[in-house]
């Protein structure tokens, strides 16, 4: 039994340097790949977030106008738009999915800002810097025609 353990020990010891080189090589390749493709990945991720923001803001704009046509006033806050979903003629399960998918936060985990003043409203996404009213913000300013 001791001879078998010794032979296994010798085999493992002999293959250890090669295993070490293989692991170090894989780590090096991973790091090299990250360095080469980092900028491409970041650009794609940033573009996807910007597309999501544009989509969210346009959906909010449509929902706000639908709310206005129905209630003859602008909603006080974005969460008031949820009443439109609850009035749909669909199953409760679908309503829960729609309410769960209503964006409250932008892709950078900032809340969307909605400001209502009279018959005008402003929708703002703070953007990547997480600060409102800076140069990277996406803004919709809309005046309702009466």
Q: Which domains does the chain have, with CATH numbers?
A: 2-143 (3.30.700.10)
Statement: residue 87 has pLDDT above 70: yes
Q: What rounded mean pLDDT belongs to the chain?
A: 77
pLDDT tens string 69-81: 999 999 998 888 8
Give the span between the Cα atoms of 138 and 52, in whole angstroms.
11
Mean pLDDT (whole number) for 41-63: 82
> What is the per-residue pLDDT for 95?
72
Mean pLDDT (whole number) for 98-112: 81
Q: What are the C-alpha distances in Å from 92 to residues 75, 87, 95, 104, 116?
A: 23, 11, 5, 21, 30
Lowest mean pLDDT among 18-27, 62-71, 76-85, 127-136: 18-27
pTM exceeds 0.85, yes or no: no
Question: What is the number of helices (H) and of strands (E) in the chain?
Answer: 3, 3
């Amino acid at each position: 039994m001791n001879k078998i353990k010794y032979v296994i020990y010798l085999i493992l010891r002999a293959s250890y340097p090669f295993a070490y080189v293989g692991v170090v090589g894989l780590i090096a390749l991973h790091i090299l790949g990250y360095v080469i493709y980092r900028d491409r990945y970041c650009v794609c991720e940033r573009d996807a977030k910007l597309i999501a923001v544009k989509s969210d803001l346009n959906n909010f704009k449509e929902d706000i106008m639908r709310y206005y046509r129905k209630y003859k006033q602008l909603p006080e806050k974005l969460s008031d738009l949820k009443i439109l979903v609850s009035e749909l003629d669909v199953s409760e399960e679908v309503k829960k999915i729609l309410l769960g998918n209503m964006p409250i936060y932008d892709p950078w985990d900032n809340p969307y800002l909605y400001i209502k003043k009279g018959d005008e409203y402003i929708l703002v996404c703070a953007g990547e810097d997480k600060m409102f009213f800076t140069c990277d913000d996406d803004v919709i300013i809309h005046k309702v025609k009466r």
